[in-house]
Amino acid sequence: MPNPDRDALIARLPKAELHLHIEGSLEPEMLFALAGRNGVAIPFASVEEVRAAYSFSNLQDFLDIYYQGMAVLQTEQDFFDLTWAYLERAAADHVRHVEIFFDPQGHTERGVAFETALSGIERALKAGEAGMGITYRLIMCFLRHLSEAEAEATLDQALPHLDRIHGVGLDSSEVGHPPSKFQRVFARARELGLHVTAHAGEEGPPEYVREALDLLQVERIDHGNRALEDPALVHHLARDGVTLTVCPLSNLRLCVIDRLEDSPVRRMLDLGLKATINSDDPAYFGGYINANFRAVADALDLSVAEIVQLAENSFAGSFLTDADKARHIADLRAAAAL
């Protein structure tokens, strides 16, 4: 049930967003503007027509449109504008720290240089830190429907820029592309000092979550819904305090769940798991981080303590230093007590 006091708490709490694909923040208005600016043809006549096409029955349905949308991103300025628009929305939702994903292979395979995407995204992140005080980490994802050799080539392209990239992730079509396929490239990323995370258990089975932990040695699991099917795995996640980046509106729109009441967030909290709330691809799934918090809080009737716990988990599970985590958590406790 909607609850104005709870909405006010959600609005004012400082929070971190740990699961956000920057290309998934491309709003239909910007899709049109960039298509016009770059002379790229798109198969839609209006913003309304684009929104109407955002009706998905599964992850692959969405990915087909998501990769199509990326075609309008051509120049460094396009990547800046995209990232800046996201940061303005994040600031309005009281996000103080972001760890965003980008998909270099979605761009290089279209002839857009790795450096073009990286520089535009990074310039906006630096401007957001200077102007809005939002700190950041940048995570490049490997597209799991492509080969491990292609992921290795992408890591090679990142080598001159390792002072600008903080981690690697694994996204795209999950089923049929288990974490084990990327064991060697993740080992190399870890040896290079990069943080590691992976999407697992969104559509794929609990075994994929286990592989991500055991074979890729990830620090976080992105989504993780289906881990709840395996009690031994739940025990492992709880014992090790592994952060799960849950995306409620994404789960609903990709039919991972039938209703928000089925969101795994409450069960995860009850089981002692470190769940966090994130928007994934907000332009496609109908809401940014606070909309995700409100939707899941209403559906699950989350308490004040549970909402504060979710926000606290977002800082605790970030790649910030312990001192920065403690500072943010002190701020959020002060904001919760107002």
Catalytic residue ranges: 202
Query: Nearest 10 degrees: CA dihedral of 195, 200, 206, 211?
Result: -40
Q: DSSP secondary-structure letter at 119?
A: H
Strand partners, 197: 220
99 is an interface residue for ligand HPA by CB under 6 A: no
Tell me how far apart the alpha carbons of residues 203 and 277 are, in angstroms, rounded to a whole number.
18
How many residues touch ligand HPA under the rule CB under 6 A: the total is: 11
Tell me how far apart the terminal alpha carbons of the chain are, to the nearest angstrom: 23
Reported residue count of the chain is 338
Q: Which residues contact 104 (CB under 8 A, 6 or more apart)?
A: 114, 117, 118, 140, 141, 154, 157, 158
203 is an interface residue for Zn ion by CB under 5 A: no
Q: Which of 9, 20, 22, 59 binds ligand HPA (CB under 6 A)?
A: 59
Question: Using CB under 6 A, which residues numbered 286 to 325 contact ligand HPA?
Answer: none
21 is an interface residue for ligand HPA by CB under 6 A: yes
Q: How distant is the alpha carbon of residue 338 from its chain centre?
A: 29
Whether residue 217 contacts residue 186, with contact meaning beta carbons closer than 8 Å, is answered with: yes
Q: Which of 27, 99, 171, 211 binds ligand HPA (CB under 6 A)?
A: 171
Nearer Cβ to Zn ion, position 62 or 80?
A: 62
Encoded tokens for 270: 């009850």
Tell me how far apart the alpha carbons of residues 217 and 226 are, in angstroms, rounded to a whole number.
18
- The item of Zn ion, ligand HPA, none sharing an interface with residue 202, based on CB under 5 to 8 Å by kind, is ligand HPA
Strand partners, 100: 20, 138
Which part of the chain contacts Zn ion (CB under 5 A), choosing from 142-150, 258-266, 279-287, 314-322? 279-287
Q: At closest approach, how far in Å is the CB of 137 from Zn ion?
A: 15
* φ, ψ dihedrals at 324, nearest 5°: -65, -40
81 is an interface residue for ligand HPA by CB under 6 A: no
280 is an interface residue for Zn ion by CB under 5 A: yes
Nearer Cβ to ligand HPA, position 66 or 288?
A: 66
Render 43-92 in DSSP notation, one character per residue. Answer: S-SSHHHHHHH---SSHHHHHHHHHHHGGG--SHHHHHHHHHHHHHHHHH
Encoded tokens for 194: 């990069």
17 is an interface residue for Zn ion by CB under 5 A: no
Whether residue 72 contacts residue 36, with contact meaning beta carbons closer than 8 Å, is answered with: no
93 is an interface residue for Zn ion by CB under 5 A: no
- The item of Zn ion, ligand HPA, none sharing an interface with residue 290, based on CB under 5 to 8 Å by kind, is none
17 is an interface residue for ligand HPA by CB under 6 A: no
248 is an interface residue for ligand HPA by CB under 6 A: no
Nearer Cβ to Zn ion, position 78 or 171?
A: 171
Q: At closest approach, how far in Å is the CB of 250 from ligand HPA?
A: 5
Single-letter amino acid, residue 112: V
Nearer Cβ to ligand HPA, position 124 or 141?
A: 141
281 is an interface residue for ligand HPA by CB under 6 A: yes
Binding site residues, Zn ion, CB under 5 A: 280
Binding site residues, ligand HPA, CB under 6 A: 21, 24, 59, 66, 171-172, 199, 202, 250, 280-281
